[in-house]
């Protein structure tokens, strides 16, 4: 069955994670993604251990590169640049994360391509935006720091920590995919493509939600609170007899149900905890009171009790436990595909579920240059007369990702 983006040709000059995550999403939806790699390959292939199969690519690389074809094109040579240009002129979408000015040096800038491909959607990903200049370097760790995320992530009495996965890269990839799809819809109306910019820094700031609103409207700085929420209590992880349990009682009604369920009904009438602002003001005292009750039983015993009472709750799972919990809930959280060297490689499934045009998993991440010959043969043929593109059924100077 064809995906919703069947027939869309994506020339992917990005590497590492944000751009590849965006193009993997497009590939999952049916797009033909040609991943252009220099002869040494995307550096993320070496970001291990662990490595999959014959060791030529890391699990990290496989997490962001399924449903793609790999073509080795050396942009350091005039022949390589000419080949890359032919691909870009056929494509519906060009995406890259070169430093500002490098795409133009390679003849792959939007204004270089637009006269011959007016329907082109051209997406540039950078660390801090084009105005930061060609010497600007950005990656997930750096942007988590300078973007303020680390200042609100960590325990109240400990040092700052980063989120345990490259959240900024993933957010940026999702924003890039959303921008590309929006431009694709607009092109259907106007017949014109356009250039769009997505940067890691803005993607993080645009995702700070109420933390940004608290700063902009009230001048609040935010601080590390561990698992606690700055404006909702109880909404955190609490100690039970054997392990931590997360409780998200976001309303006065849920708080009342919580304290009754754990055998502490007197807390509901305590004026220190009567309303959420009171509980926020007395969060430390309330934690002590709640944990006195919760420590009487294992976390796994409390979860069904609290859920029955209408209080959102769950144990703090490990990642393996999280996947098993998803399966128990009837979800399909993982996909397994076979690489060209015969290795079976797993990755997290696409979370979008269509009723009519489902996500498809057509191929594992490609071996370096696996499809070079096929892509070059397709580029030697004349473009199709229909649609924007024919069917094509140096990466150094990268500006962003990590």
- The DSSP line for 215-251 is HHHH-------TT--SS-SSEEEEE-SSSEEEEE--S
Distances (CA, A) of 349 to 19, 346, 352: 18, 9, 9
Catalytic residue flag (residue 169) = yes
Q: Which of 157, 154, 132, 111 is nearest to 284 (CA)?
A: 157
Rounded-to-integer distance, Cα 390 and Cα 393, Å: 8
User: How far is the C-alpha of 179 from the C-alpha of 254, rounded, in Å?
Assistant: 38
| H or E element that contains 202 | helix 200-205
CB count in 10 Å sphere of residue 356:
6
194-199/235-239 β-pairing: unpaired
| Cβ neighbours of 167 (radius 10 Å) | 18
Active-site residue, selected from the candidate residues 92, 169, 199, 256: 169
Phi, psi dihedral angles at 124 (to 5 degrees):
-110, 130
3-state secondary structure of 377: helix
3-state secondary structure of 189: helix
Beta bridge partners of 71: 36
d(CA 300, CA 294): 11
Say how far apart CA 334 and CA 361 lie, in whole Å. Answer: 11
Query: Please, what sign has the CA dihedral across residues 294, 299, 300, 305?
Result: positive
Could you give the CA distance from residue 206 to residue 229 in angstroms, rounded to a whole number?
A: 19
Distance CA 401, CA 23 (A): 14
Query: H/E element holding 140?
Result: helix 140-146
Written as six digits, the tokens of 57 are 């690519």
Give the active site residues.
169
């Amino acid at each position: 069955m064809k995906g919703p983006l069947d027939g869309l040709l994506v020339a992917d000059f990005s590497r590492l994670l944000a751009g590849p995550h965006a193009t993997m999403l497009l590939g999952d939806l049916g797009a033909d993604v040609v991943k252009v790699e220099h002869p040494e390959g995307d550096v993320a292939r070496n970001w291990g251990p662990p490595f999959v199969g014959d060791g030529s690519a890391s699990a990290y690389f496989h997490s962001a590169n399924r449903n793609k074809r790999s073509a080795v094109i050396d942009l350091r040579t005039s022949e390589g640049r000419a080949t890359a240009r032919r691909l870009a002129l056929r494509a519906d979408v060009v995406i890259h994360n070169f430093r500002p000015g490098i795409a133009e040096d390679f003849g792959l800038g939007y204004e270089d391509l637009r006269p011959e491909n007016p329907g082109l959607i051209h997406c540039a990903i950078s660390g801090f935006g084009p105005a930061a200049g060609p010497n600007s370097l950005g990656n997930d760790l750096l942007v988590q720091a300078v973007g303020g995320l680390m200042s609100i992530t960590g325990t109240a009495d400990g040092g700052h920590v980063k989120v345990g996965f490259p959240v900024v890269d993933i957010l940026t990839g999702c924003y890039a995919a959303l921008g590309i799809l929006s431009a694709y819809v607009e092109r259907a109306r106007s017949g014109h493509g356009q250039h769009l910019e997505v940067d890691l820094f803005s993607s993080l700031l645009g995702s700070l939600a109420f933390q940004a609103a608290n700063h902009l409207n009230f001048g609040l700085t935010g601080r590390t609170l561990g698992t606690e929420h700055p404006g909702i209590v109880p909404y955190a992880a609490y100690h039970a007899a054997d392990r931590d349990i997360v409780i998200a009682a976001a309303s006065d009604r849920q708080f009342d149900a919580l304290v009754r369920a754990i055998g502490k009904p007197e807390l509901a009438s305590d004026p220190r905890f009567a309303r959420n602002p009171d509980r926020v003001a007395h969060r430390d005292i309330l934690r002590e009171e709640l944990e006195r009750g919760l420590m009487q039983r294992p976390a796994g015993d409390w979860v069904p009790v609290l859920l029955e009472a209408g209080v959102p709750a769950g144990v703090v799972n490990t990642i393996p436990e999280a996947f098993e919990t998803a399966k128990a809930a009837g979800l399909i959280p993982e996909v397994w595909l076979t690489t060209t060297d015969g290795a079976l490689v797993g990755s997290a499934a696409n979370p979008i579920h269509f009723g009519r045009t489902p996500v498809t998993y057509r191929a594992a991440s490609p071996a370096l240059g696996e499809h070079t010959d096929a892509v070059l043969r397709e580029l030697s043929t004349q473009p199709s007369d229909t649609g924007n593109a024919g069917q094509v059924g140096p990466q150094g100077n990268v500006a962003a990702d990590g």
